[in-house]
Structure 1
């Protein structure tokens, strides 16, 4: 097939949307399909080794988060689509650029597969963008109504979409690199450098941004016998560092270095309440690490309480601290949960999920 992927974010940006688009584009190319990616131009564009063409459109910074770029509206999209002649158009987390892409694709009579990935109403609330949740949902409903199908990453997100009038909703999760993220990456020397007194090592991996609410770990950072490590960067880093005085901030990590950090943890914690899937939870589970996460959104599908981790009420700092303390006090529980976590995601490879998505493409083409 010939596939155009129109995405709100792409490499070199580091986030779930950019990562999943890169994975899927690579998988499609490896399977012999022709792929074109259309994305906003980042702050600084460096040469990449993409095996497929990438068209960059002019962009502006998102208010309150300057490293996130929003593509400017352009009629050029229609000309690009007409020239490439795609069989299907994939909209990755559509909202701004995706809305223009949906319009252009619909005008050309092209089947559209829309991947809902970002909780825009939640972000609008967190960043006070001037969009109310009601208005955000109206925009989402109108945009996704153009799609041949909309794929949600979790059951709770699918239910939200249906509740707000989005038609033709299906399910498609996310893959995980089980060769990279694996319990065998555990590094005792790294652990000793981070927890020299043999503390229980608890880690957060992700952006340090307002919507992630990492400051909720303030109580957990003070637990005796616990060393909190924070991996990532973002506009809230300074504020979070001031709140989590006892934590170790390691900055962004990628590849094998990130995989060693995951596998060397005793507990993984994620605090953000706006996750439609939460890929870092899945990466931690693939690394054989039990998880503490909020009982909302994507983590509800991923984490099985009493088996692979603990779910807590979103926004409750004391509940996060209690859950971490419970796991820190019981090594046997941590090991059992870690083994079960690995088993739960071992089959969710990007290859398997990529082939599943190709099936959705074919269904969309057939429906159109």
Structure 2
């Protein structure tokens, strides 16, 4: 199969969209498919020997954004794909969907970023009307796609409520080999734990971008819990403010690859704070590492966390709810071990290879609707 992936984000920018696209490309290469990537500049000329075509980009709030280009028709026509995959479309991806429609190429849009909420949060007094305008724009360009894939049932419901047609559920994969309880035996993890918890504290950690939409200020509720060492892994525009808010916390900065796996393995409890997540990939990674997880009872985490089994959900509208949930886990090592083992069991089969196989079925369903009769489209 020939797949053209038009992505709003790609290397060297590292975020959830880039990671998902790269993992899908890895699996497509292993399965013998052909692919083309269209992404904002700058970007590498190739990835896994797949060509990467770039369009002009600008940087907005530390995000590299591709500018919609009428060159896309020509690029797609020359590549002649069987399907166009728009990854987290909004600007460049929306233009890619329009180009696919103009050329008569089937298309799949993958909804991953809650852009309306992001724009509302950063829009000041104009936040609410900007959010409404964003949803009108999203509804418009998603009607151009033959199918829109969403990562959680909550997101599917939100898309339906805003009039987005032809949707289906496609979750995210996780690297259960890199993120594993076995990493706790690595000497680097022992060294990190000694640094983070010199007096044997319970290490409570967050992994992700340090930005307003991640709502990391909520961690103040647990920062002064007795016997707790708080750790934040990641970087972003709110780091300085968070360092002032959480003066006793350990800030490890941005990590990827093996150092990130070691950071997960060094934790005892994982906390996710954002209430506007369409999925919650770091929750899956923490569960793969054998950690009990705590997350808000909102958005994507509702699909991932089974309360009392793999972790706990807290009420983001109730002050003290996060502190109570984390405090309960800190006080009960046996419960932490039980939930960590359950979480590992839940996600260890969610490989990117399996999820990419599902994605290929979705591609087939738009190329030939009779090809995959088991696909459920809302």
Common topology (TM > 0.5): yes
Q: Which residue of 2 aligns with 1:248?
A: 250
Native 8 Å contact 2:314 2:322 kept in 1: yes
Determine helix, strand or coil for the equivalent of 2:59: strand
Q: Is the 8 A contact 1:26 1:51 kept in 2?
A: no
The residue that corresponds to 1:99 in the other structure is 94
1:7 aligns with: 7
Distance 2:295 2:162 in 1: 26
Q: 1:87: which partner in 2? A: 82
Counterpart position of 2:267: 265
Q: Which residue of 1 aligns with 2:65?
A: 70
CA distance in 2, matches of 1:58, 1:315: 41
Residue 111, structure 1, aligned to residue 106, structure 2: yes
Report the Cα distance in structure 2 between the residues aligned to 1:351 and 1:193, rounded to whole angstroms: 36
The SS at the match of 1:271 is coil
**Secondary structure of residue in 2 paired with 1:347:** coil
2:368 is paired with a residue whose SS is helix
Q: Check conservation: 1:201, 1:266, Cα contact below 8 A.
A: yes
Question: So what's the TM-score if we normalise by structure 1?
Answer: 0.96
**Residue pair 1:5, 1:35 contacting (<8 A) in 2 also:** yes
Give unmatched runs, 5+ long, in structure 1.
none
TM-score (norm 2): 0.93
SS of the residue aligned with 1:353? helix
Three-state SS of the structure 1 residue aligned to 2:320 is helix
Once the 2 structures are TM-superposed, how far is the Cα of residue 71 of structure 1 from its aligned partner? Answer: 1.2
Deviation at 1:190, TM superposition (A): 2.1
Structure 1 residue 314 displacement after superposition = 2.6
Whole-angstrom CA distance in 1 between matches of 2:291 and 2:317: 22
Aligned pairs (5 A) from 1:31-50: 31-42=31-42, 45=43, 50=48
**Alpha-carbon deviation of 1:11?**
1.6
- How far apart in 2 are the matches of 1:49 and 1:75? 24
2:235 is the alignment partner of 1:236: no
| Distance (whole Å) between structure 1 residues aligned to residue 369 and residue 130 of structure 2 | 34
SS at match of 1:274: coil
Distance 1:296 1:136 in 2: 21
Give the Cα separation in 1 of the matches to 2:139 and 2:201: 48
Gaps of 5+ in 2: 371-378
In 2, Cα distance between equivalents of 1:49 and 1:367: 30
Among 316, 319, 331, the residue aligned to 1:314 = 316
Q: Distance in 2 between matches of 1:291 and 1:189?
A: 23
* Residue range with higher mean Cα deviation, 121-130 or 180-189: 121-130
Cross-structure match for 1:202: 204
Q: 2:305 matched to 1:303? A: yes
Q: Distance in 2 between matches of 1:54 and 1:202?
A: 40
**Cα deviation code 1:60-80 (max 9, x no counterpart):** 122xx1x20121121111110
Distance in 2 of aligned mates of 1:359 and 1:51: 24
Q: When the two structures are aligned, how many residues end up with a matched partner?
A: 363
Contact 1:218/1:317 (8 A) holds in 2 = no
Helix, strand or coil at the partner of 1:53: strand
Matched with 2:151 is 153
8 Å Cα contact 1:115-1:152 kept in structure 2: yes
Moved over 3 A (4+): 45-50
Partner of 2:373: none
Q: Distance in 2 between matches of 1:86 and 1:346?
A: 33
C-alpha distance after superposition, 1:18-72 (max 9, x if no partner)? 1000110121121111111111124xx567753311112111122xx1x201211
RMSD over aligned CA atoms reads 1.5
Is 1:356 the counterpart of 2:354 in the alignment? no
Match of 1:174 among 167, 172, 175: 172
Indicate conservation of the 8 Å contact 1:216/1:316, yes or no.
Answer: no
State the alpha-carbon separation in 2 of the partners of residues 194 and 182 from structure 1. Answer: 20
